[in-house]
Amino acid sequence: MSTRLLAFSGSLRAESLNTRLVFLAADLAESKGAVVTRLKLQDLDLPMFDEDSEAASGLPAGAKQLKDLMRAHDGFLIATPEYNGFMSGALKNAVDWATRPEEGHPPLDCFGGKTAGIMAASPGGLGGIRGLPMLRLLLSNIGVNVVGAQYALGHAEQALSEGTANDAVQKVVDEVLRVAR
């Protein structure tokens, strides 16, 4: 049976470098036999996390959709922009919604036992590296096995256009596939 991966970025931008990076990882995973679902967070109805709103209206449809997608996959390929040294607020918001209890499902069931590869892209020279430790910590705290290989792509527009990121991204993908199997 093929390894199933969910690939998404923490960016909501239409021309996101991080979405391009994680979809490159998805292409590379597919070339190794994985079945990959590509997701754009902006396609989900995910309001800002608010427990009062949840208490009044329940889990938003987008959160249910995200949780169902996560449950259906063995692991994740995630890229995040770095904002002020941290992962994006959009990514943190999506994870917060996905951790919420849902009747008929054990707590954190869409995270426990899953494997993730993390990466970042930036037009700057550091490539978003400062946000990756925060993402690793967040995911590890909720039961995700984050592989050791990670990648921060500096000067991302040029590197993605020239294909110079492929080898480093392939290392992350290979480790995710090895561990998820």
Residues 3-36 as b or e (16 or more Cβ within 10 Å = b): bebbbbbbbbeeebbbbbbbbbbbebbeeeebeb
The helix/strand/coil state of 1 is: coil
pLDDT in tens, 99-149: 999 999 999 999 999 999 999 999 999 999 999 999 999 999 999 999 999
pLDDT of res. 1: 82
The enclosing domain of 154 has a CATH number of: 3.40.50.360
- Would you state the pLDDT for residue 127? 96
Counted domains in the chain: 1
pLDDT in tens, 75-92: 999 999 999 999 999 999
**pTM score, whole prediction:** 0.97
pLDDT class for 39, splitting at 50, 70, 90?
very high
**Residue 121, both tokens:** 């892209």
| Mean pLDDT of the region 6-12 | 98
- Give percent above pLDDT 90 in the chain: 99
The count of other CB atoms within 10 Å of the CB of residue 166 is 16
- Average pLDDT for 26-53: 97
Average pLDDT, the chain: 97
| Residue 148 structural domain | 4-180
